[in-house]
Amino acid sequence: MNKKRIVIDARESGTTTGRYVDKLIEYIHKLKPNHEIIVLTKSHRIEYMQKIAPRFTVLKCDYSEFGFAEQTLFMWQLYRLSPDLVHFCMVQQPILYLGRVVTTMNDLTTLRFDNPSKNKLIFKTKQLIYGYVNKIAARKSKKIITYTDYVKDDIARFTRINSRKVKTIFLAADPITEKAKPIESLVTKQFIMYVGRPQPHKNLSRLIEAFQQLQQKHPDLHLVLAGKIDVLYRRHERRVKRANIQNVVFTDFISDGQLRWLYEHCAAYVFPSLSEGFGLPGLEAMQHGAPVASSNATCLPEVYGNAAEYFDPTDVSDMANKINKLLTNSKRKSELVKLGTKQSARYTWRKTAEETLAVYDDILA
């Protein structure tokens, strides 16, 4: 195949959702593709991209998602580059760019759940625009990449495209290499944990209710909610305080070493989410020896297989009972730790990159 010019949109680099594009570029670079790869990213991530992919061309692209400049200036930047293929690693893109395109679509969670920290009218308007952009992107892309078969089918139904146009390419979780660093206040405590954002679909309100039920049998148990304190986490803090619920720990931002220590010492990692595109934290927990209790919603059983104890995320008592099983049944806990190690090993970023590169080659052939 003749050498082709491929542009990868990496404007999300360095964010929570941008972990995908960071790993994708790092591992595509390791594969030494026979193409000219141009990475477009924001100014503060140029040095990082040059470090992980020194053979690729890295260019500044400071056009924000959903902004007017994205639809105009970003579009003209793409046309000037004259690429043979553009990979948008998120749905947001210039809808009037008519070159050959691959789009990664995470999931449709944003369309189905409100964000109470945002102005309701503005957020509803953005949801409508986001839904429109999803449909346009799906129809004009040569191929759609998504992370699970559940989301593949969901996107095909919502956008009314043939599901054969959608390629499922799994993500992966990397073990934390930073040395485990204890959180002193938890060293002698038994605790269950969750790490991540507190958006409504993460279902933390029901997790806190399930924890209240567990305290009746395990009065010394702690619930650790790890993540940077924001407006939504503060709402949970106030609720816990008003209800006088003891032993709930809001960590605020923690280092990778502290997160590793939490995974390695928790009695269970709990993932109560109502909707996910993949569910990386559960795999990360498995890599570090944590038994996982997970919601059975959306794609999570597809990703975790038989390596998690599943519960109905809308049933607080079921959630409490399944977590209690891991607290009281040492045989089941040990079984899940072993199964989790095997399950997480199935996913690698190298495989993600290989399958993505194969999509590029197929389109360009």
Q: Report pTM.
A: 0.93
pLDDT value at residue 121? 85
Residue 326 and residue 332 in contact, taking contact as beta carbons nearer than 8 Å = yes
The per-residue DSSP string of 273-323 comes to: -S--SS-HHHHHHHHTT--EEEE-STTHHHHHTTSEEEE-TT-HHHHHHHH
pLDDT value at residue 125? 84
Residue 131 and residue 107 in contact, taking contact as beta carbons nearer than 8 Å = no
One domain, residues 131 and 206: no
> How many folded domains does the chain comprise?
2
pLDDT value at residue 67? 86
One domain, residues 199 and 302: yes
pLDDT in tens, 82-119: 999 999 999 999 999 999 999 999 999 988 888 777 77
| pLDDT of 229 over the 90 cut | yes
For 272, the 3-state DSSP assignment is: coil
pLDDT in tens, 166-222: 999 999 998 999 999 999 999 999 999 999 999 999 999 999 999 999 999 999 999
Asked if residue 199 is part of any domain, the answer here is yes
**pLDDT-above-90 percentage for the chain:** 89
Average pLDDT of span 313-336? 98
**CA end-to-end distance (rounded Å), the chain:** 7
**pLDDT-above-70 percentage for the chain:** 100
One domain, residues 328 and 352: no
Residue 103 and residue 93 in contact, taking contact as beta carbons nearer than 8 Å = yes
One domain, residues 119 and 67: yes
Alpha-carbon distance of 326 to 320, in angstroms, equals 10
Q: Tokens 């389109």 correspond to what residue?
A: 363
One domain, residues 81 and 193: no
Beta-bridge partners for 60: 41
One domain, residues 117 and 45: yes
With cut-offs at 50, 70 and 90, classify the pLDDT of residue 44. Answer: very high
